Amino acid sequence: MLLAALYGGLASAMLIVGTLLAYAFKPSPRFTAIVMALGAGLLIGSVAYDLVAEAKLSIRLPSIALALLAGALVFVLGSRAIDRHGRKKPRLSEIPREPDRAPPAADDFNPLAIVLGSGLDGIPESFVLGLSVLTGGISLPLLLGISLSNVPEGMAAGSGLRARGWPAKRVIAMWVVVVLISAFAAALGHEILANDDGTWTGLAQTFAAGALLAMLADTMLPESYAVERVWTGLLVVGGFAGSLLIAGLVA
């Protein structure tokens, strides 16, 4: 359980790394978009060859399809609920490019929505990381995909909050809450299904896979394409190919 919590917290801690990079180096939206596209490709490979492929060994295809749709539905409904109370996180295309640009009005930005939105992404990811520890060892492609996808999210949010005058310590404190939630979710995924025959594990894997795919379609891919444009597809495929190579190395 402690190992599962460690991996869940480690992947989410990359949000803090992204924020530190945003405050220290002020990376361009294009660099952030490149990292985001590569992370999306890694996650697609992890979904296909770690989550769904393993679930096929224990549950039938109709159950897999329903669990995928259920995970996507929960993510979409959760995202809509958060959006009603404020934007989930600043988009890459909204990161100020000029240092002297005036920050947006404070009342159009809900920092609590950032925490909730990132937690919504991180809970199914961390739950699956806990499952992967339970089923024989951490999935390295999944861990790398989640970690790499969290870096640009932290960079985008950190850049937007920095432009609004937020101190780095305050932003990091918000991410620490998300890291703790993710670590708990990973430990929960490990403990709840410790004695499962594979059925509930497979359903949980494909449920989280559906949530991850919905997150990719809703956030990472559109945001990356809005900035990087023509090279986005190649970068995503490059990340996917990297996922296969990593899986081959650790097999």
Using the predicted structure, report yes or no on whether residue 114 has a pLDDT greater than 70: no
Matching residue, tokens 């995503």: 236
The whole-number pLDDT of residue 1 equals: 75
Mean predicted confidence (pLDDT) in 197-216 = 83
Using the predicted structure, report yes or no on whether residue 85 has a pLDDT greater than 70: no
Using the predicted structure, report yes or no on whether residue 110 has a pLDDT greater than 80: no
117 versus 145: which is more confidently predicted?
A: 145
Going by C-alpha positions, the residue among 186, 123, 215, 167 that lies closest to residue 19 is 167
For 120-134, write each residue's pLDDT tens digit. Answer: 667 767 777 777 676
Q: Which residue type, as a one-letter code, is found at position 121?
A: D
The whole-number pLDDT of residue 144 equals: 77
Report the alpha-carbon distance of residue 135 to residue 116 in Å, rounded: 29
The whole-number pLDDT of residue 70 equals: 93
The whole-number pLDDT of residue 248 equals: 73
Query: Would you place residue 65 in the very low, low, confident or very high pLDDT band (cuts 50, 70, 90)?
Result: very high
The whole-number pLDDT of residue 93 equals: 55
Whole-number average pLDDT of the chain: 78
For 87-105, write each residue's pLDDT tens digit. Answer: 555 555 555 544 444 444 4
The whole-number pLDDT of residue 232 equals: 93
Query: Would you place residue 172 in the very low, low, confident or very high pLDDT band (cuts 50, 70, 90)?
Result: very high
Going by C-alpha positions, the residue among 190, 227, 7, 11 that lies closest to residue 118 is 11
pTM: 0.73
Mean predicted confidence (pLDDT) in 139-149 = 74
The whole-number pLDDT of residue 135 equals: 61
Going by C-alpha positions, the residue among 57, 17, 25 that lies closest to residue 198 is 57
87 φψ region: left (φ > 0), alpha (ψ -120 to 50), beta (else):
beta
Going by C-alpha positions, the residue among 150, 30, 172 that lies closest to residue 97 is 30
Query: Would you place residue 86 in the very low, low, confident or very high pLDDT band (cuts 50, 70, 90)?
Result: low
